[in-house]
């Protein structure tokens, strides 16, 4: 390996580490966000200078930077070091991946679990990368339907598998705390590509695995 190739390899590893830290690290308190939070406190009738609120703009700015880190990570770069050639052709499932996101309509949290499966076509993805892919798309202003499709489409494009299946179950605080106030209402969304979409047997195998795991999902 020559010097230039070595430097490129080191740079790539640093980018991957930075992406992982961004998704799992502490946010940055951006001044413009702090100012927006301060103005919001004033608008609702609070005093941002009182003791309990003095550090709130900074805390909220850090929290939003962390919760929305998915905008600043290149998903392809994040997984490139973990795609391996392997002649394994049975279903791979990672279930019960917890996620935390913010709905784009009210900027209130929605939380839940994602279940991801794919049928390899000569390539497999390192186990830890699938939860990171879920995190990456969750950490944006989202709607659950779009997030589900983004996870499936990305894995389909990155791995070129025979098929991808994604099921997401979410609890939405915008429906629990306000509006209809239904605390137990769960939203279930799915996105199916390739064999998962075309073959009832493949789809049924996926759902049976989820049922054995205690999920009540049905398609």
Catalytic site residues?
103-106, 144, 172, 174
d(CA 104, CA 140): 8
Closest residue by Cα to residue 164 from 209, 115, 128? 115
- The answer to whether 212 and 219 are in contact (CB under 8 A) is no
d(CA 154, CA 164): 10
d(CA 2, CA 48): 57
Tokens of 181: 């106030």
CB neighbour class for 119 (10 Å; exposed up to 12, middle 13-18, buried from 19): buried
């Amino acid at each position: 390996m020559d010097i230039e190739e070595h430097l490129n390899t080191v740079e790539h590893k640093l980018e991957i580490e930075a992406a992982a830290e961004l998704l799992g690290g502490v946010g940055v308190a951006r001044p413009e966000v702090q100012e927006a939070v301060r103005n919001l406190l004033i608008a609702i009738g609070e005093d941002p200078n009182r003791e309990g609120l003095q550090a709130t703009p900074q805390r909220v700015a850090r929290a939003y930077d962390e919760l929305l880190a998915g905008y600043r990570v290149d998903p392809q770069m994040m997984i490139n070091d973990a795609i391996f050639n392997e002649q394994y052709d049975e279903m791979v499932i990672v279930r019960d991946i917890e996620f935390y996101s913010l709905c784009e309509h009210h900027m209130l949290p929605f939380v839940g679990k994602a279940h991801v499966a794919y049928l390899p076509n000569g390539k497999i993805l390192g186990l830890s990368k699938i939860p990171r892919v879920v995190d990456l798309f969750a950490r944006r202003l989202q709607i659950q339907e779009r997030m589900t499709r983004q996870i499936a489409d990305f894995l389909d494009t990155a791995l070129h598998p025979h098929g991808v299946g994604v099921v997401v179950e979410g609890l939405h605080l915008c429906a629990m705390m306000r509006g209809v106030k239904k605390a137990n209402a769960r939203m279930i969304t799915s996105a199916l590509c390739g064999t998962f979409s075309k073959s009832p047997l493949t789809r049924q195998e996926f759902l049976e695995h989820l049922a054995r795991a205690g999920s009540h999902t049905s398609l």
